[in-house]
Amino acid sequence: MNKCSTPTAPAHLPKSSVMIVFGTRPEIVKLAPLVRSLGDAAYVVHTGQHYDRDMSAVFLKSCGITRVHRQLRVGGLPRAAQIGRGAE
């Protein structure tokens, strides 16, 4: 796929899907109700900006987010590298 082509949604998502992107624990808490209300239509991306496996997993579970579709793992990288990895 070239950079100008229109990406297609993964096959498991409904036609009307919404990508929810968060990277910090406060964002998980704030966006969790939206993720839950969207159900299968939510495509969840965790940037990993403030990622700690133990803490993030606890927040995801306690907020009812059962699936993260994509983990970018940008935590600890310089700002430009975070942005670059997020654009992949």
Show the CA angle centred on residue 37, arms to residues 33 and 40, nearest 5°.
Answer: 125
Half-sphere exposure (Cβ direction) of 52: Cα atoms closer than 13 Å: 5
Question: Does residue 24 lie within any of the structural domains?
Answer: yes
Show the CA angle centred on residue 48, arms to residues 16 and 30, nearest 5°.
Answer: 60
Number of independent structural domains in the chain: 1
Q: Could you list the residue range(s) of the whole structural domain that residue 66 is in? A: 18-86
Find the largest Cα–Cα distance for the chain: 39
Tell me: the pLDDT tens digits for 25-63? 899 999 999 999 999 899 999 888 776 777 778 888 999
Question: Does residue 41 lie within any of the structural domains?
Answer: yes
Question: Does residue 62 lie within any of the structural domains?
Answer: yes
Tokens encoding 87 = 């654009």
Q: Can you give the pLDDT at residue 43?
A: 93
pTM of the predicted model as reported, rounded to 2 decimal places: 0.72
Q: Can you give the pLDDT at residue 75?
A: 72
Question: Does residue 57 lie within any of the structural domains?
Answer: yes
Question: Does residue 39 lie within any of the structural domains?
Answer: yes
CB-count exposure of residue 28 (10 Å: 0-12, 13-18, 19+): buried
Q: How confident is the model at residue 1 (pLDDT cuts 50, 70, 90)?
A: very low
Tell me: the pLDDT tens digits for 66-85? 899 988 777 777 777 766 76
Half-sphere exposure (Cβ direction) of 75: Cα atoms closer than 13 Å: 15
